[in-house]
Amino acid sequence: MLLATFVAARKADPYSPTTPTHIARKFEEDRELPEKRVEELLTSIATSPLLPKVAELIEKKLGRKLEPFDVWYNGFKPRGKFDEPALDKIVKKKYPNAAAFQKDIPGILKKLGFLPDKARYLAEMIVVDPARGAGHALGAQRRGDKPHLRTRFEKDGMNYKGFNVALHELGHNVEQVFSLYKVDYTLLARVPNTAFTEAIAFVFQARDLEVLGLPKPDAETERMIVLNDLWMTYEIAGPALVDMAVWHWMYDHPEATPVQLKEATIQIAKDVWNKYYAPVFGGQKDVLLLGIYSHMVNLMMYLPDYPLGHLIAFQIEEKLKKAKRLGDEVERMTSFGAVLPDLWMENATGSPVSAEPMLKAAEAALKK
């Protein structure tokens, strides 16, 4: 499939004159955000002068210099305070199988801030399936159908990782219900693009410990969450930039072989690392980690949606801090329809898509 994708995508499409490449169609039509603007958003994170300060803080926590794999450092997350086997034990007791999780969806949604009648309505609209992989949310394509939530259940029940993924997928499903059934016109169904549904999923996923009955984050934990958001966005911005560059390389080299594509991808991954990551990681160069994502090429330039989703989620979270009830705000935002991204964001948060809220909050967190 990867080879077929490569062969089919490397030539301009004469039947799509205004957007003759997949790159143009993905940004101009699907995301409705110009590629240049997306690249500027990602590089504004990747070149932030705050990152060396965050890296220094991570080194203090680890008691050593950063290694390239610390790009996935997750010690800022609230769950770092808890022993994961203990979390596994809590989750397995609550959810021995998919039916138990299905039954508890109304309770989960109420804990997240949905009124009881709305929680029951959403639960009736969502079907839970056990997954062979990590997890997935399959949205309904027409009114009358139901979205499916897929997450992993081990032989002895769901573990904490499966629960964390399940809350992410539940966020997708809730968005899928509201954006299909609650919009004024079915032609406006859905959210503007994939990054927006990822953002809602991130909002749900971030509250997994609260749903399990563990304490809400205190002020210090909130500051650490902000730094985690910045570091995670920085981490996934690199693979997104690699993905974008690889697609340009394919169009620039229409006669290239798969072997040459592999070699080019390796070099592009090194180049992106050297430009945006080596300065933060003590000058370590030619690291390949940004090129390992299975999404690349195969999922047709999906990766940029993840860092965009983090930025959008952060803006939504800032709005939710002032909201009386999370459920009401999520319904209001996700039932606005598949309008232009900035219009959706202005309705949801009062400002267009931007990296500035995350960067300003991270700067404040570092000062404290």
d(CA 87, CA 163): 10
Query: Cα dist. 18→13, 23, 24, 247, 348 in Å?
Result: 10, 12, 9, 18, 31
- State the pLDDT at residue 259: 96
Indicate the length of the chain as a whole number: 368
Q: How far apart are CA 106 and CA 115, in angstroms?
A: 9
Q: What average pLDDT does the segment 178-207 reach?
A: 96
Of 82, 97, 172, the C-alpha closest to 130 is: 97
Q: What is the pLDDT of residues 315-347, one digit of tens each?
A: 999 999 999 999 999 999 999 999 999 999 999
pTM across the whole model: 0.93
Strands 127-130, 148-151: pairing kind:
parallel
For 64-120, write each residue's pLDDT tens digit: 999 999 999 999 988 767 889 999 999 999 999 999 999 999 999 999 999 999 999
- Give the pLDDT of residue 217: 87
The predicted pLDDT at position 82 comes to 82
Q: What is the mean pLDDT of residues 242-268?
A: 96
Q: What is the dihedral of CA 39, 40, 46, 51, to 10 degrees?
A: -160
Burial of 6 (0-12, 13-18, 19+ CB in 10 A): middle
- Give the distance, in angstroms, between the CA of residue 43 and the centroid of all CA atoms in the same chain: 17
Specify whether the CB–CB gap between 54 and 232 falls below 8 A: no
